[in-house]
């Protein structure tokens, strides 16, 4: 009996001592208390023996516990020992005593009423290690979002790789098919040419008419093949710029001369509002020649007979600006976004009579992009269109002397 009495007495003394220690620590928490309650995330303060001194309202709400079941209890005993986890013990008993401050320590615990929670702990020892301040941030949603995001990223990456593989296979097929088609098409052109020139004897008027139709169709086929090959090459990243310095005015004049017969046949005219001084540029002349040829040809094709096309070139401190303006059929606002897409052709009154693959503008934009430039369109239906190309000036590469255009 005496032993039981002594044990009860010791337990009572131990409880009184613990309560006195808690009470003493609470006096130190007067200024902590105000701060604690302003913290929106769960926050708890422990004594050096890991007993709860106090916790804020966010802690009680988040973990669905009562104040009377929390204060004075050992941290590991809270919520039916739900906090009794090796990760938390490692933090509070081994890591924190050495470091005094710990940031973003992640643990995952299972709560019967709340489920599995991932939390970010930030801890600090204060008042000569008498108190431990512990902030608890529930990052379960963020972690699940990251897991979902990572999985989605992996799925999207796999899909991208699959699509890229299909796109590469498509480009390779187009390139291979175009190469294979070009050889027989070129042979047809040569033999038709020989027939029309009488290498196999005289041909009748009707035969000549049919041969001319074959020749024109073959020319169209070769144009389509060349368009496909150019696009396949630029999509595969196998188009490389060979930049030189030259006078763009001379280049544009050469382009106009090349298409003079076409414009004459349509009764159209080209006004080149050119500078009296050379306009020197540092770009790939052969590729840019093809771009400008394409834009000027389109301006003529999509303008009525007798129309005028105007070309202007300007330079500011940063860019060379080339404008090709027509008074043709124009482009609907809703169609502008489709203009530079692959295989895209815009429906208009002249589109039926103008043959095309829908690849010319796509390829032209790719070439301008390679020059780190831009191409834009200002257009109004039935009022005409203006194509504007801007390419950056590389002043260090420009010579003082005019260089003749390359073709």
CATH number for the region 244-397 comes to 3.30.565.10
Give me the residues paired with residue 316 across strands: none
pLDDT digits (tens, 9 = 90+) for 251-288: 899 899 988 998 998 899 999 988 778 888 988 988 99
Structure tokens at 6: 């002594």
pLDDT digits (tens, 9 = 90+) for 119-135: 888 888 886 667 888 88
pLDDT digits (tens, 9 = 90+) for 145-198: 888 888 888 888 888 888 777 677 666 666 666 566 666 777 777 878 888 888
CATH class of 12-138: alpha beta
Q: Which residue has the tokens 């529930």?
A: 138
Q: What are phi and psi of 58, to 5 degrees?
A: -60, -35
Structure tokens at 229: 């090959």
Chain-centre distance of CA 178, in angstroms?
31
pLDDT at 401 over 60: no
**Degrees to nearest 5, angle at CA 189 with 187 and 192:** 105
Higher-pLDDT residue of 89, 163: 89
C-beta of residue 311 within 8 angstroms of C-beta of residue 324: yes
Q: Indicate whether this model's pTM tops 0.85.
A: no
Q: Where are the beta strands (DSSP E) in 112-243?
A: 115-126, 131-138
* CA dist., res. 310 & res. 202, Å (int): 46
* CA dist., res. 286 & res. 251, Å (int): 10
Instruction: Identify the helix (H) or strand (E) that includes residue 15.
Output: helix 2-28
DSSP letter assigned to residue 350 = T
Q: Which residue has the tokens 């090349």?
A: 258
pLDDT at 358 over 60: yes
- Compute how many other C-beta atoms are within 10 angstroms of the C-beta atom of residue 9: 10
């Amino acid at each position: 009996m005496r032993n039981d009495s002594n044990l009860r007495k010791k337990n009572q003394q131990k409880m009184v001592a613990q309560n006195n220690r808690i009470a003493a620590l609470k006096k130190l928490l007067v200024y902590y208390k105000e701060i604690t309650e302003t913290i929106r995330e769960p926050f708890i303060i422990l004594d050096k023996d890991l007993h709860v001194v106090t916790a804020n309202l966010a802690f009680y709400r988040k973990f669905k516990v009562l104040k009377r079941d929390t204060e004075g209890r050992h941290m590991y005993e809270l919520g039916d020992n739900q906090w009794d986890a090796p990760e938390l013990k490692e933090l509070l008993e081994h890591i924190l005593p050495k470091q005094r401050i710990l940031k973003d320590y992640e643990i995952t615990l299972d709560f019967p009423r709340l489920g599995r929670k991932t939390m970010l702990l930030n801890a600090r020892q204060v008042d000569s290690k008498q108190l431990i301040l512990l902030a608890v941030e529930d990052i379960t949603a963020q972690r699940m979002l990251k897991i979902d995001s990572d999985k989605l990223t992996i799925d999207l990456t796999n899909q991208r790789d699959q699509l890229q593989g299909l796109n590469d296979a498509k480009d390779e097929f187009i390139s291979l098919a175009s190469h294979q088609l070009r050889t027989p098409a070129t042979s047809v052109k040569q033999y038709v040419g020989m027939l029309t020139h009488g290498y196999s004897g005289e041909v009748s008027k009707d035969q000549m008419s049919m041969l001319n139709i074959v020749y024109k169709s073959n020319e169209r086929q070769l144009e389509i093949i060349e368009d496909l090959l150019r696009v396949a090459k630029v999509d595969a990243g196998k188009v490389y710029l060979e930049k030189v310095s030259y006078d763009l005015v001379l280049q544009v004049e050469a382009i106009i001369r090349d298409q003079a017969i076409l414009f004459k046949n349509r009764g159209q005219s080209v006004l080149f509002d050119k500078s009296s001084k050379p306009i020197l540029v540092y770009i790939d002349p052969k590729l840019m020649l093809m771009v400008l040829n394409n834009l000027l040809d389109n301006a003529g094709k999509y303008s009525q007979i007798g129309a005028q096309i105007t070309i202007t070139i300007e330079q500011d401190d940063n860019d060379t600006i080339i404008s090709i303006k027509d008074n043709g059929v124009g482009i609907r606002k809703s169609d502008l976004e489709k203009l530079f897409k692959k295989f895209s052709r815009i429906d208009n009154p002249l589109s039926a009579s103008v043959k095309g693959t829908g690849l010319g503008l796509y390829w032209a934009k790719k070439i301008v992009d390679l020059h780190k430039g831009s191409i834009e369109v200002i257009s109004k239906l039935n009022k005409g269109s203006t194509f504007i190309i801007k390419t950056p000036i590389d002043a260090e590469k420009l010579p003082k002397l005019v260089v003749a255009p390359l073709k």
